[in-house]
A = this chain, B = another copy of it.
Amino acid sequence: MGKLLIVGSVAFDDIETPFGKSDKILGGAGTFIGLAASQFNLESAVVSVVGDDFPQEYLDLFTERNIDISGIEVVQGGKTFYWKGKYHNDLNSRDTLVTELNTMADFNPIVPNNFKDADVVMLGNLHPNIQLGVIDQMEQRPKLIIADTMNYWMNHTLDELMEMISKIDVITINDEEARQLTNEYSLVKAAAKIHEMGPKYVVIKKGEHGALLFHNEHVFFAPALPLKEVFDPTGAGDTFAGGFAGHLTEAQNISFESLKNAIIHGSNLASFCVERFGTERMLNLKKEEVRARLMQFKELTQFNIELT
């Protein structure tokens, strides 16, 4: 069975959308990635840090899903990372109202011994030096290292970011960030420049407009599933990444065809995530629902034009 190592925040989110307020709930990139990946047949561990204000029942949600939490440090007397945000009416943009890094400010990830030989490493959005520190702890080069990042690190720690990018196989990045990183408006040109920085595979996330996978001259696209309602976009990108990494770990096959399927699995799981506040939908997601929606993705995208 494949092993997936996940590194990312485990946090409190406090979300307001046009549809309501969540109050303080479970959130964080590591959480969303872990829950999405738990839909697959694999061994996984989340490496993170929380304070002693983090409820045991939240930690239990991980272990109940067979996610190893021995790498989640609980800092006595510390407080858990807290983010409060408010979405605008179209749900495509949001204002951050509060960011309290708390214990996350001094996060020093320790990879559990039995995950130092993980097949796949999924590095959630974090300071690039933290991401690099995880790579250094691996006993052998993983089959695939995937990292997510964001514009904050381009603005504040570009050298470290570039070093991190040079050491990974897959980057997941949104369209505006890809443009900022490369100074290219065309996503085709942006992806080509990012290839040159290191990653063999470039995944560009376009939110409600889907995701692109680039590998040299090859391009694959998965739409987001058109939904009647998007309730809360929080965690959609991380859920996408978790489904992507989860499928590849389960499949134990790192080919372009396999990455295409991983993109579909990620998009599929993200379509559930946005239906409820925070992790609510992902915590109550049945295998039959996932399968039925994969069928919808096929209907949405597959056609039959014979080229004679």
Contacts and interface: CB of A to CB of B under 8 A. Distances in A.
A90 interface: yes
Nearest to A192: B228
B261 A299 contact: no
Given A209-B209, A303-B261, A226 B220 contact: no
Contacts of A24: none
A221 B303 CA distance: 10
Nearest to A204: B226
A286 to B, nearest CB: 15
A307 interface: yes
| Interface size grouping (class) on chain A | 35 or more
Interface string A286-308: 00000100110011111111010
B185 A90 contact: yes
Contacts of A304: 257, 261
A260 B212 CA distance: 21
Contact of A307 (B188, B212, B294): B294
A14 B77 CA distance: 68
**Assembly of this chain: how many copies?**
2
A99 B279 CA distance: 52
Contacts of A299: 218-220
Task: Name A's interface SS.
Answer: mixed
Interface string A87-115: 00110000000000000000000000000
Most buried by B among A189, A257, A260: A260
A241 interface: no
A122 interface: no
A229 interface: yes
Contact of A221 (B90, B219, B226, B260): B226
Per CB-CB distance, the 8 closest pairs between chain A and chain B, nearest first, are: A209-B209, A221-B223, A188-B228, A260-B303, A188-B226, A301-B301, A261-B305, A221-B300
